[in-house]
Amino acid sequence: MGHLNPQFGTNSFNGERKESPAKPSRGALACIINSEIGAVLAVMRRNVRWGVRYVADDDNLEHPLIHSLKELRKQIFSWQHLWNNIDPFLYLQPFLDVIRSDETGAPITGVALSSVYKILSLEILGLDTVNVGEAMHLIVDAVTSCRFEVTDPASEEVVLMKILQVLLACMKSTASVWLSNQHVCNIINTCFRVVHQASSKGELLQRIARHTMHELVRCIFSHLPDIEKTEHALANGSRSCVHEEVGSPGKGHTSESEQLENGNGGIEYGGQSTAYASTAPMSTSASGMSDGGTNENITECSNRMEPTKNDEKHMMDPFGIPCMLEIFHFLCSLLNVIEHIEFGPKSNPIAYDEDVPLFALGLINSAIELGGPYISKHPQLLAVVQDELFHNLMQFGLSRSPLILSTVCSIVLNLYHHLRTELKVQLEAFLSCVLLRLAQSKHGSSYQQQEVAMEALVDLCRQQTFMAEMYANFDCDITCSNVFEDLANLLSKSAFPVNGPLSAMHILALDGLICMVHGMAERLGNEPPSLKASFDDEGYEAFWTMTCENYSDPNFWVPYVRKLKYLKRNLMVGADYFNRDPKKGLEFLQGMHLLPDKLDPKSVACFLRYTTGLDKNVVGDFLGNHDEFCVQVLQEFAWTFDFQDMNLDTALRLFLGTFRLPGESQKIQRVLEAFAERYYEQSPHILINKDAALVLSYSLIMLNTDQHNAQVKKKMTEEDFIRNNRRINGGKDLPREFLSELYHSISENEIQMIPDQSAGFPVMASSCWINVMHKSKKTSPFIVCDSREPLTYDMFAILSGPTIAAMSVIFDQVEREDVLQTCIDGFLSVAKIAACYHLDDVLDDLVVSLCKFTTLLTPLSIEEAIVSFGDNSKARMATTAVFTIANRYGDYIHSGWKNILDCVLSLYNLGLLPANLASDAEYETDAPSDPDRAKPATTLSASHMPSLAPSRKSSGLMGRFSQLLSFDMEEPRSQPTEEQLAAQQHTRETIQKCHIDSIFTESKFLQAESLLQLVKALILAAGRLRKVTGSIEDEDTAVFSLELLITITLNNRDRIMLIWQGVYEHISDIVQSTILPCTLVEKAVFGLLKICQRLLPYKENLTDELLRSLQLVLKLDARVADAYCEHITQEVLRLVKSNATHIRSHLGWRTIISLLSITARHPEASEVGFEALAFIMSDGAHLLPSNYALCVDAARQFAESRVGEIDRSVSALDLMAGSVVCLVTWSSESKNSVDEEASMKVNQDIGEMWLRLVQGLRKVCLDQREEVRNHAILMLQRSLTGVDGIHLPNTLWLQCFDLVIFVLLDDLLEIVLGQSPKDYRNMEGTLGLAVKLMSKVFLHLLLDLWRLPSFCKLWLGVLNRMEKYMNMKLRGRRSEKIHELIPELLKNTLLVMKTTGLLTPSDAIGGDSFWQLTWLHVKNISPSLQLEVFPAHELEQLQTKQVKAAGIPAPDGTVLVQSSETTA
């Protein structure tokens, strides 16, 4: 048997010894003992009895007690330096004789006890002292056998207190390790008897006695960690002197002890005669207290525990496990008394409950507190805790005394902390049968009981791993009740105040819920959360055979318990089906692969045996059915029980506890036959055959009904029972003792024939405890959870809904700030867990609940709302919580964004948000310094309040409060009160804590789905505001919503397409539905431009999409567009300058150029628009084939515009003409292209662009302004003659003459003839320039075009225009300049044609007609030109040569066309 090692004992109480005085020197010890001798002698001399001389024979002799003291005095001074070698017996014996003597009075005994106490407290006895063990034994024997005469009650109490003092000093002494188990038991027993005696004495003695008892237990069990566990264990524990003293089984239960006799008092070690015991022992009586007799029916083991020789041997060993085991048994025996006390209707059970049991429970708690973790190392101690102690805790857990219940709960909490791995089933039983039932106020429990039980549950919830362990060990165990789920439901329901005010119970339940949530939140680590696994489509597996490979490794047990929970849920559903229709229930279980496709009796039997939630009546009927399959199931069902070495009544209780015995006799017969067969196979004992077991079982059922049915008036006696069971054991009688034991067992403890239908344990009775202990031997190991979170997801799925609802109700009804803060902490923990496991619905529900408490959505006036918000701590706390959740866990908020945005907009309406909340810092820093140029729209804080009132948001954070602090010159306002100022301060602090701006500026970190929901909610809110009354307030809020939307868009450029469609549609709706200028449309337009500016550099693949959106600007109502045209153009200019290189497509440029073109005729915007166009076209910097035609058209519009100065139109023309360089460049690049087809396509496009250019210039040539049209003609000429690097086909040139040059001349002529001279001044010069242009271009292209069949037509067109101009009259008279210019130009043309050989007297171009037609027209223009060009002699020579020639030589020497004669 394990005992205390003296080496450990030396240091085990260093803490205790610190309070002791310093150890005296060896020389001083003699003086100390001498003084104690003198003190005892002095008190003895004061007594008359001791003051006289005793005469015997002839000598005068002193009394032996006085003589021994004096003899000691003679010797002590000779031991100066040898005290360690002196046997303590020599200097202790005289004092101990005085203590044991029944002749001494209380004062003398008291002084002797004080002397012994001083010797112990000064550590005169040390571990190195000779025979220190014997000395300690002598002291204990003497003190526990103390005898003295009682002279007065006061002196008696003093002696009793000193006895306690000495015994406690013995246990605290370093030499206590030498005490034997027997002596420690004697000490405990003596102290307990003093406790009994103290109940009839003074209050001080009572308190000291009880305190000493606690200290002794603490001293003893604090040694448990130092006790060495030896291989030889004491079989079945031991029962020794404690029980002999308190009462033996033969004595039964004593309710009172012997009374005081003859006025003498004393302490004895009851019934155990020692060398120092008095022949007249005496006991004191404790009023209302029992001597603590044992209960024969605690357990079967206790009945067998009687001292043996082996036990006695262990009891004399140095104290250790045997004495601790005895103390546990003794304390439990004090609790057993309660079982046989019946309370009447008028009795006060608390008066009894709070005496002995409470004292015993306190001692047990002290023992477990100090020795708890080491009890499991000693099987004997652990067995007592598992069975006897816990059974008593179950009984006292239902005590009506709150004190007892509180102490029991403290013990259970300690047991859970230290021994939960060994107490799985016991903990389940206590939680289900005691705490959960009491906390639910079931079975008539009082409010005090309910509150204590709730406190105990909350304390358990505060243990870091309690909830996880409850879930893993019970909720995920098929054979156990759902403790976690039941507890969660209990706490959530208890937190709801139903039809009454909020009470402490509601707050307590709330604490429990929040503790559970906090525990889960704290376990969430950095590891990826382990989500619930899926077990669908798995095949059949016998669930009752499933085991885990390693219950200590989460990698093994987590999947295991999850699968068990999955199976358990399906089994519960199957049980529900079975309860309604067994056949359908079994079919369902087969479909869920919980039973095999082909049913077999064993699987069904195991389902009935191990599944919780089954209706016990239905199970009983099913098992008793005569159907062959049901009979086979019954056999297998009975075989699932283990009746090994079990009494018949115990086995029968266990068997009938799993179902209700059917009422029909045949069914009962079948059920009991199966039971009897199984019982006889495993525990035959004295039964000869199974028939004997069957008959006796039937007899026990009948006896149970007889004894416990109220309708049976005449009860069966023991003799009747024995007589009824004669000759049933194979024709022989069973032993009378055997039958008597069965009779008493059934009579005292009813077999529960109607089992409790709840999933947990029934209300615990002695008979039910047998089932608990049986289950504890078969249950799976207790799973210990660490601080990780493998099951948090599973638990939170059960807990979240009720917890949020309960916290919301409490938060709504309570006003105490500490409770409110507790709720807020709980909300944040729920949010943390929900976010960790991506439980969007939970987070949304939480946000919705919290937003209701912000009061921000309550319609109040602005001033009232601000003051109310500042004064309402609940609203401020809820607001802070809402935005804390939004900032921390926004990734997983979906529908909740709507409520959050409602709060944001309400704060904005109250003027409580920072003025720059929706601003974009990066954009603001990029804005130009020019204030006029930099103001794209009204600012966020723009006020719609009357001008004399403070700006609505100009004061930033507390704009609304500025109204309270300012004065109107005409109507002075009152100063704000202290309450208003305090509310202002509270509100400011709250808004600062919320960090609302982070929601939008940090939206780039949101998950895609959350971001999309945020944008949708913002659009919805803004749309809702636009559809309401249309007040200034609503418009302002709609503007703010739009700015937030733009801020989000700009901060999410990397995933713009995710939200772009919604943003675009919202802006489009605003733009197209607005017909008058307003802030909202202004924000929409410039927000759109800002988005394009910021995103184009980063999203080249979205360039077209972004620029297409700018077409919305083109759809603006004319009034709106006019109002914002300048600012729009400024933004477009900024966009072009920063992003021109990123715009490549025709579509994109078309939008940009269209925006610029609009500004050409706008007084304010044209300058900026032209600047943007010039930026694109100057030097061809950003001209592209995709934007060339667009830019040319836009430049033409600026050239034609009369809004700006003429110089701008001239510059526009320069831009147009200068763009030819780009065409030349592109043409040159195309020549290097390998792909000929592509090159041809490019050249064709270039030709079209050039034609577009010259057509545009032609239009400007008709401008009313002289400088513009003249410059346009020059630029046109430049564009027509400066394209040598471009390969333009001849057909294109012919087109150019027809569509550009000829049309230009015709239009100018028409203008001259039809318009007022005031509209077109100095047209003469313009006409001259036009004719020159035609002449120069014709000559420039002459060699290229004369080959064309239509050259003659072209030439005649030229001549025709010259002829018209010659005949034209300006203001009624001919123009001299034109008349001089045209002949000169024509002459020059003819000379060139003559020189090149294109004009000869006889040519092949049209036969003779070309020559003739030429001169025909020339004569109409200037008749003398033919002779000037072709003098007469020269003409004759040419004609002669022409006749002789065979063909017409070309200028390059080749024959171009044969003469008409030859070809004929």
Q: Are 1431 and 1377 in contact (CB under 8 A)?
A: no
Distance (Å, whole) CA 1119 – CA 1075: 7
Q: Please, what sign has the CA dihedral across residues 477, 479, 482, 483?
A: negative
CB-based burial of residue 382 (10 Å sphere; 0-12 exposed, 13-18 middle, 19+ buried)?
middle
- Size (the chain), residues: 1464
Within 8 A by CB and 6+ apart from 1029, the residues are none
Please list, residue by residue across 769-778, b when 16 or more beta carbons sit within 10 angstroms of its beta carbon and e when fewer do.
bbbbbbbbee
Q: In a 3-state reduction of DSSP, which class is residue 1369?
A: strand
Q: Which helix (H) or strand (E) holds 1370?
A: strand 1369-1370
Phi, psi (5° rounding) for residue 834? -60, -40
Give the start-end residues of each E strand in 967-1071. Answer: none
For the chain, count helices (H), then strands (E).
71, 10
| Of 237, 477, 189, nearest in space to 379 by CA | 237
Q: Which helix (H) or strand (E) holds 933?
A: helix 931-934
**Tell me, what's the pLDDT at 767?**
63
**Tell me, what's the pLDDT at 179?**
85
Residue with structure tokens 């027997």? 182
Residue with structure tokens 């007589």? 723
Q: Please, what sign has the CA dihedral across residues 1308, 1309, 1311, 1315?
A: positive
Tokens representing 17 are: 């010894």
Q: Are 429 and 761 in contact (CB under 8 A)?
A: yes
Active site residues: 664
Q: How far is CA 563 from the centre of its chain?
A: 24
Cα of first residue to Cα of last residue in the chain, in angstroms, is 148
CB-based burial of residue 526 (10 Å sphere; 0-12 exposed, 13-18 middle, 19+ buried)?
exposed
Distance (Å, whole) CA 461 – CA 171: 37
Q: Are 801 and 539 in contact (CB under 8 A)?
A: no
Tokens representing 635 are: 């056999």
Phi, psi (5° rounding) for residue 59? -100, 145
- The pLDDT tens digits for 1314-1373 are 766 677 888 888 889 999 999 999 888 888 888 888 888 888 899 888 888 888 887 777
Long-range contacts of 621-629 (CB under 8 A, 24+ apart): 621/662, 621/667, 622/582, 623/659, 623/662, 623/667, 623/670, 623/671, 624/662, 624/664, 624/666, 624/667, 624/668, 624/670, 624/671, 625/667, 626/666, 626/670, 629/599, 629/601
- The pLDDT tens digits for 745-767 are 888 888 877 655 444 444 556 66
Which stretches in the chain have pLDDT values below 70? 1-27, 48-61, 80-83, 228-314, 337-353, 442-443, 525-539, 754-767, 789, 915-916, 918-974, 1026-1032, 1234, 1315-1317, 1402-1408, 1442-1464
Tokens representing 283 are: 């006991």
Please list, residue by residue across 927-957, b when 16 or more beta carbons sit within 10 angstroms of its beta carbon and e when fewer do.
eeeeeebeebbeebbebeeeeeebbbbebbb
Q: What string of H, E and C letters represents the secondary structure of 550-608? A: CCCCHHHHHHHHHHHHHHHHHHHHHHHHHHHCHHHHHHHHHHCCCCCCCCCHHHHHHHH
CB-based burial of residue 1382 (10 Å sphere; 0-12 exposed, 13-18 middle, 19+ buried)?
buried
| Of 693, 744, 752, 699, nearest in space to 723 by CA | 699
Q: Which residues pair with 3 in a beta bridge?
A: 228, 320
**Tell me, what's the pLDDT at 844?**
92
Distance (Å, whole) CA 266 – CA 160: 9
Q: Which residues pair with 644 in a beta bridge?
A: none
